[in-house]
Amino acid sequence: MSGTVPGNSISDGLGRTGVLLVNLGTPDAPTPRAVRRYLREFLGDRRVVELSPWLWRPLLELVILPLRARTSAAAYRKIWLADPPESPLRAATRALAEKLQAAFAGDELPPRIDWAMRYGRPTIAARIDALLAAGCERLLVCPLYPQYAAATTGSVCDAVFRALEGRRIVPALRILPPYPDHPAYIAALADSVRAHVAAAGWAPERLVLSFHGLPQAQVDAGDPYRRQCEQTADALRAALGLDAERAPLAFQSRFGPAAWLVPATDAMLRDLARQGVRDLMVVTPGFATDCLETLEEIALGGRDIFLAAGGRRFDLVPCLNQSDAHVGLLASLIREEGAGWLG
């Protein structure tokens, strides 16, 4: 599937800025074979699993992939879209890029907006090739991760640099920095929570702020991820008028036996229900678009955990996805980081 966003022709792209949105990735189909191929690329990244390949590769190929590909494929089937058949993450990322292109339509020299996946397709290298072939002389890469982690933003940078390695002509390059407490980001999150609560017709006793987890060893090594998640949590609580008790911070998606960031989201959901919390919502501020980790792990799995432990009502606040607020946020960030580039 092409990652090209309809817009200006190649002939009028000369001298323009290319903007590449990069999301985490998705398998091409909810089948064990496709998921295995995707997980091999994802879990084979040294940024993601910081173990010696001599130790990790045999374990990955002989144990992890045969077991995880089948279970992950079953999870993907629960959330896979039917028309067209694709993952919600791919659909939302493409729609976000298309709406973002339209947001710059009034500019004298609008940037060309494209999108890619760090793992899976369309690849970063392929979409950079397309932007450069269209005459873009400047490249702004936008990792769709509000909080920095070496395993996410750092890995995107690695892939971008590899894609440009060996080129005779290398474009001017900028990477969008993380934006954990940017006012536009916090305002978009807060508005999305308020709108969802109003539409639901009930107010949660707790609003759990669930971020993707990270091995504790990576934070101990200097990764700023936890600190930036806390920045987001503090700013969002302030915008919503909530304290840490009403809006606790948690981390999800633990993988493997190593120590990960705590508190864990699944344990928190169970504990809150057992403590008498009846009505609860979860918001996932670290995810730009809904995906397996939000739609299956939280909306389905988290609901089961909370209700089984005694909760009454549970809901997930959708990610910003391709909402107008998200488009406006990214347009603002692109204009800020593209100062001097965009007409």
pLDDT tens sequence across 83-137: 999 999 999 999 999 999 999 999 988 999 999 999 999 999 999 999 999 999 9
Which value, in Å, is the radius of gyration of the alpha carbons in the chain?
20
In a shared domain, residues 64 and 212: no
Same domain, 300 and 329: no
Joined tokens for residue 125: 């290298």
Average pLDDT, the chain: 95
pLDDT tens, residue by residue, 227-251: 999 999 999 999 999 999 999 999 9
Same domain, 333 and 251: no
* Domain count of the fold of the chain: 2
Classified as helix, coil or strand, 260 is: strand
* CA dihedral for 85, 88, 91, 95, sign (positive or negative): positive
- Across 320-326, average pLDDT: 98
Report d(CA 133, CA 139) in Å as an integer: 12
pLDDT at 152 over 50: yes
Q: If you write DSSP's letter for every residue of 26-94 in order, what string do you get? A: --SSSSHHHHHHHHHHHHT-TTTS-S-HHHHHHHIIIIIHHHHHHHHHHHHHHH-EETTEE-HHHHHHH
Indicate whether 158 and 226 sit together in one domain. Answer: no
CATH of the domain at 163: 3.40.50.1400
Residues 219 and 146 in one domain: no
Which domain does 192 fall in, by range? 183-317
One domain for residues 237 and 312: yes
Q: Is residue 343 part of a domain?
A: no
* Within-domain flag for 279: yes
Q: Pseudo-torsion of CA 150, 156, 158, 160, nearest 10°?
A: -160
